Amino acid sequence: MRAGGERCVSGRQADPWPLHSRYSGCVNTLPTFDATAACGGGPALPVSPADIAAAAQRIAGHVWRTPLLRLPGAVLGVDVAELWLKLEHLQRGGSFKARGMFNRMLAQPIPAAGVVVASGGNAGIAVATAARALGVHCEVFLPGNSTPAKRAALAALGAAVQVQGAAYADALAACLQRQAASGALLMHAYDQAEVVAGAGTLAAEIEAQAGGLPDRLLVSVGGGGLVAGLAAGFEGRTRVEALEPTGSPTLHAAREAGEPVDVAVSGVAADALGARRIGAVAWPICQRLVAAAHLVPDAAIVAAQQALWRELRLAVEPAAALGLAALACGVVRPQPHERVALVLCGANFDPASLTVPARA
Residue 164 lies in a domain: yes
**Whole-number pLDDT of residue 32:** 37
pLDDT of residue 244: 97
CA atoms of 15 and 78, how far apart (whole Å): 8
Classify residue 346: in a domain, yes or no.
Answer: yes
Same domain, 315 and 207: yes
pLDDT score for 26: 52
Cα–Cα distance for residue pair 106/357, rounded to 1 Å: 43
200 and 244 fall within a common domain: yes
Is residue 165 domain-shared with residue 57, that is, in the same domain? Answer: no
| 53 and 111 both lie in a single domain | no
- 208 & 85 share domain: yes
Asked which of 135, 168, 187 is the last residue of a domain, the reply is 187
360 occurs within a structural domain: no
Contact 291, 240 (CB under 8 A): yes
**Run of H or E including 342:** strand 339-343
Q: In Å, how far are 104, 129, 169, 199 from 133, measured between CA atoms?
A: 14, 6, 28, 19
In one-letter notation, the amino acid at residue 90 is: L
Q: Report how far Cα 74 is from the mean position of its chain's Cα atoms.
A: 24
Provide the pairing of β-strand 68-72 with 82-86. antiparallel
Q: What is the pLDDT of residue 359?
A: 52
**Alpha carbon of 260 to those of 42, 281, 282, 352: distances in Å?**
19, 11, 10, 36
Q: Looking at the structure, do residues 258 and 329 belong to the same domain, yes or no? A: yes
How confident is the model at residue 310, as a pLDDT?
Answer: 95
- Catalogue the E-assigned strands of 221-300: 239-245, 292-296
Question: Angle at Cα 358 formed by Cα 352 and Cα 360, nearest 5°?
Answer: 155
Question: What does pTM read for this prediction?
Answer: 0.87
Are 111 and 87 within one domain?
no
Question: What DSSP state is assigned to residue 45?
Answer: P
- Which whole-number Å values give the CA distances from 337 to 36, 168, 236, in the listed order? 20, 40, 20
Q: What is the pLDDT of residue 17?
A: 31
Q: Of 165, 187, 209, which residue sits at a domain end?
A: 187
110: domain CATH number is: 3.40.50.1100
Total structural domains in the chain?
2
- Which pLDDT value is given to residue 16? 29
Boundary-marking domain end, from 187, 222, 257: 187
Residue by residue, pLDDT tens for the chain (360 residues) are: 333 333 332 322 333 233 332 223 454 433 333 444 444 567 899 999 999 999 999 999 999 999 999 999 999 999 999 999 999 999 999 999 999 999 999 999 999 999 999 987 789 999 999 999 999 999 999 988 888 888 888 989 999 999 999 888 899 899 999 999 999 999 999 999 999 999 999 999 999 999 999 999 999 999 999 999 999 999 999 999 999 999 999 999 999 999 999 999 899 998 888 788 999 999 999 999 999 999 999 999 999 999 999 999 999 999 999 999 999 999 999 999 999 999 999 998 888 888 755 554
Q: Are residues 207 and 303 in the same domain?
A: yes
**Non-local CB neighbours of 9 within 8 Å, separated by 6+ positions:** 24, 25, 26, 330
Phi/psi for 316 (5° steps) reads -125, 155
Q: 276 lies in which domain range?
A: 7-94+193-353
Q: Is 235 helix (H, G, I), strand (E, B) or coil?
A: coil
If asked whether residues 181 and 148 sit together in one domain, one would say yes
